[in-house]
Amino acid sequence: MVKKLPLERIIHNQGFGARKLCRLMVWNNEITVNGAPCDDPNAEFDLENLLYTVRGEEWSYREKSYLMLNKPSDYECSHKTQHHPTVYSLLPHPLVVRDVQCIGRLDEDTTGLILMSDDGQFIHRMSSPKHKVPKMYEVTCKHPVDDEQIAHILKGVQLIDEDAPIAALACTRVNEHTLHMTLTEGKYHQVKRMIAAISNRVEGLKRIQIGELKLPDDLEVGDWRWLTASDMAKLGVI
């Protein structure tokens, strides 16, 4: 059975403001549905494949939001920031109203792929340690990295405040200063601490892959896009 909802409620559910504001936008002919104007807030529409515009901007109806962001440096993954802008300022306001959340935080100076959603089950699936979702980082080191140091990372390094050595799932050298390191945990400053444990230092850190989902080459720094069905499959959730 196809689910229908009144237009006012649809716009409200999608994050475009209080019910009263949404009703006013409909009355003021600021909404179109599937290409046609509608000035009746109580008009009901099928939610499946629903396309609408709000003040000229096109949207599609989404019961839940799933997206990726190419995080810039000097942004914080928090609503209450301390020293830098929040990554949520890079999103359209309706998504912020819908309370999309970062799935695992990146440090302010770390860049690259971050997932965001308002689906609690999806957030748990991607972030829970028990699911061991692999995450690959491009690590730029201050000093050249040799085979012995890579072997140490793969065997496990002892970090302060950890009971047992921590090992990378994979670690390959791109060039003498750059590594691709894959982890299944998300401990505090883990990559930086692991590199420090082999007497080196991280000069640049970028997350380039989660599961089988790679950061797209055409997603510019600071931009976001919806996750596709193919993306979700690469994350192992379809």
The pLDDT value recorded for residue 72 is 97
The pLDDT value recorded for residue 37 is 94
Q: Which helix (H) or strand (E) holds 154?
A: helix 147-155
The pLDDT value recorded for residue 161 is 81
- Structural domain harbouring 203: 134-210
Residues 190 and 229 occupy one common structural domain: no
Residues 122 and 11 occupy one common structural domain: no
Cα 216 to the center of its chain, rounded Å: 13
d(CA 6, CA 29): 15
Q: What is the CATH number of the domain that holds 98?
A: 3.30.70.580
Residues 54 and 72 occupy one common structural domain: no
Name the nearest CA neighbour of 205 among 176, 181, 187: 181
pLDDT tens figures, 83-122: 899 999 999 999 999 999 999 889 999 999 999 999 999 9
Q: What is the CATH number of the domain that holds 34?
A: 3.10.290.10
Would you say 29 and 39 are in contact if contact means Cβ atoms under 8 Å apart? Answer: yes
Chain position carrying tokens 């300022």? 89
Would you say 186 and 114 are in contact if contact means Cβ atoms under 8 Å apart? Answer: no
In degrees and rounded to multiples of 5, residue 153 shows phi and psi of -60, -40
Would you say 11 and 26 are in contact if contact means Cβ atoms under 8 Å apart? Answer: yes
Question: Final residue of a domain: which of 40, 60, 80?
Answer: 60
d(CA 232, CA 226): 10
Residues 218 and 119 occupy one common structural domain: yes
The pLDDT value recorded for residue 41 is 96
Q: What are the catalytic residues?
A: 107
Residues 139 and 195 occupy one common structural domain: yes
Per residue of the chain (238 residues), give pLDDT as tens.
558 999 999 999 999 999 999 999 999 999 999 999 999 999 999 999 999 999 999 999 999 999 999 999 999 998 887 789 999 999 999 999 999 999 988 999 999 999 999 999 999 999 988 888 999 999 999 999 999 999 999 999 888 888 889 999 999 999 999 999 999 987 888 999 999 999 999 999 999 999 999 999 999 999 999 999 999 999 988 6
Q: What is the CATH number of the domain that holds 192?
A: 3.30.70.1560
Number of domains in the chain: 3
Residues 126 and 217 occupy one common structural domain: yes
Q: Does the pTM exceed 0.85?
A: yes
Residues 202 and 165 occupy one common structural domain: yes
Tell me the Ramachandran region of residue 164: left when phi exceeds 0, alpha when psi lies from -120 to 50, beta otherwise.
beta
